[in-house]
Chains A and B, each alone.
Chain A
Amino acid sequence: MLLEVRAVSKHFGGIRALEEVTFSVKQGMILSIIGPNGAGKTTLFNCLTGFMKPTRGSIIFSGSNISRLPADRINRLGISRTFQNIRLFKSMSVLENVLVAQHARIRSGLLPIIAHMPSFLNEEASVRQTAYEYLAFIGLESFAEQGAGNLPYGAQRRLEIARALASEPQLILLDEPSAGMNPLETDEMMTTIRKMQELGKTIILIEHDMKFVMGISDRIVVLDHGVKIAEGPPHEVRNNPLVIEAYLGKETH
């Protein structure tokens, strides 16, 4: 198992955003997390990336407990993410957004950074080349020198994915990758996610578009009010009465 989420709870005062959530993810699989608004999906992502610390429970990634580690350590161990509301470094160029994620990976100690300071005139050509490869993967290489904030919406979403890939993660968390996209862009996004899987990446995604979820997932976890109410392959989850109830309400007759 690449990732094991063990009885993770996250409470905000009296609100139980997550309650004893347990599931695990195998290397190379695509797992979707679905659930109505306020089910705790994004809170779960926040706990997995160190953006928030779980109130209780543990998160085991590649055999080590990461639930108390700071966000930058978790990223360097191999988890990166995108956001539902896009969070690019808007005043940097498209290329720089990717470079900054690559650089952070290379070294992080204070002394190595200081020792490296004078070498600013020969930014490694190889690093830039890899950055272009990530941009080419996502189809943005011709935008490299543009400001990230000037890109059209769909391209910004794809740039977030390129930046997430640039940290060379084993596990990528995508928060609503198809939100706000037209059907054509949504299809392209599915192709991109499959290509990422072929590269050996493990993917967890949050998504509201059921066609998208059913079409791409190996496994689905369903959350409702912070509690896991179902888990399984798409055809099982689709017919689960608890899931139907959570989405449509209970039948009364």
Chain B
Amino acid sequence: MFFQQIINGLTLGSVYALIALGYTMVYGILELINFAHGEIYMLGAYLGIIILGFFTALGLTAYNMPIALVLTFILTVFFCASYGFTMEKLAYKPLRQAPKLSPLISAIGVSIFLQNYVMITQGATDKVFPSVAGNEGFTFADIHITYIQVAIITVSGLIMLLLHAFISRTRTGKAMRAVAQDKNMAALVGINTDNIISITFIIGSGLAAVAGMMVSVYYGLVNYSIGYSAGIKAFTAAVLGGIGNIPGAMFGGILLGLIESLGAAYISSEYKDAYAFVILILILLVKPTGLFGKESEEKI
């Protein structure tokens, strides 16, 4: 029972971690909580269904399921990254010089817009994700692990490793760190900060797309409001790890997933969704900088 919950928690936690990365990266660079980020995750889930449905109509899924899935994956990431890029250009970039509250309100507006846009075009009822691997898996000393769980944990792990290597080793990664530390100074050493901000939104949205698609395969159900609760939980994960801190978001996501599934198993599953908020309140009261966060330096 305990180890079963650990596996479930890890699955859920890696999804939270992927979404939390988008919050934390954008915050690191713009000091903006992008409240519309959960909606990108929701779009990823819908786009996964739509694109896979399209391939089914073409007969590709019947012909070769893995190829259809990989293509769906790539296209979903591409479209969500485009949404993220456009969102920044339209809703945040014009407000770059405005007081901090303005882009925050703009983010809430984008979130409401995207939810309603999906509700109107896709309907308000649940959509069913075509079953890919069902409940198949393997049982190991009482613990049942589905192939989908294995895939979610592996894919998230790989993506996080890649992201870490990207941020610490590439020149774009260095430029991102430079912009996060001191945007004006970064411009003075020749970095085009607008491009770095765009890249950040593209990567964050791509990660949310992966999360959205994996979750809809896992649960099999999608509706237009899933972005809200997933978003707020991933935001909690980012705050838990220290907002702006990338390894912190990964760790915070996984920790939150574990707390939720263990809490549901041993305390009460009725309160499953409340644990995240209890943690959010506790963290903000006790250690607002999060587990890995540094005391924020006042920027001059």
Contacts and interface: CB of A to CB of B under 8 A. Distances in A.
Interface of A: 49-51, 70-72, 75-76, 80-81, 83, 85, 87, 89-92, 96, 99-101, 103-106, 108-110, 113-114, 116-117, 119-121, 123, 163, 166-167
A120 B170 contact: yes
A108 B195 contact: yes
Interface of B: 165-166, 169-175, 177-178, 181-182, 184-193, 195, 198-199, 202, 300
Contacts of B195: 108-110, 113
Contacts of B193: 72
A113 B199 contact: yes
A92 B184 contact: no
B169 A89 contact: no
Contacts of B165: 120-121
Contact of A89 (B166, B177, B300): B177
Given A71-B187, A72-B193, A101-B190, A89 B182 contact: yes
A51 B193 CA distance: 13
B188 A120 contact: no
B172 A105 contact: no
Contact of A100 (B191, B192, B199, B202): B191
Nearest to A127: B171
Interface centre among B170, B171, B199 (most CB of A within 10 A): B171
B184 to A, nearest CB: 7
Given A90-B181, A110-B198, 17 more contacts: A50-B187, A71-B188, A75-B188, A89-B178, A89-B185, A92-B174, A96-B174, A103-B175, A104-B186, A104-B189, A104-B191, A108-B190, A110-B195, A120-B169, A120-B170, A163-B189, A167-B190
B190 A116 contact: no
Given A75-B187, A101-B190, A108-B192, A117 B166 contact: yes
Contacts of A89: 177-178, 181-182, 185
Given A51-B188, A87-B185, A123 B177 contact: no
Contact of B174 (A103, A119, A163, A167): A103
Given A89-B178, A116-B172, A120-B165, A75 B184 contact: no
Contact of A80 (B166, B175, B188, B192): B188
A71 B184 contact: yes
Closest 7 CB pairs of A and B: A103-B171, A104-B190, A120-B170, A75-B190, A71-B187, A101-B189, A104-B191
A80 B188 CA distance: 7
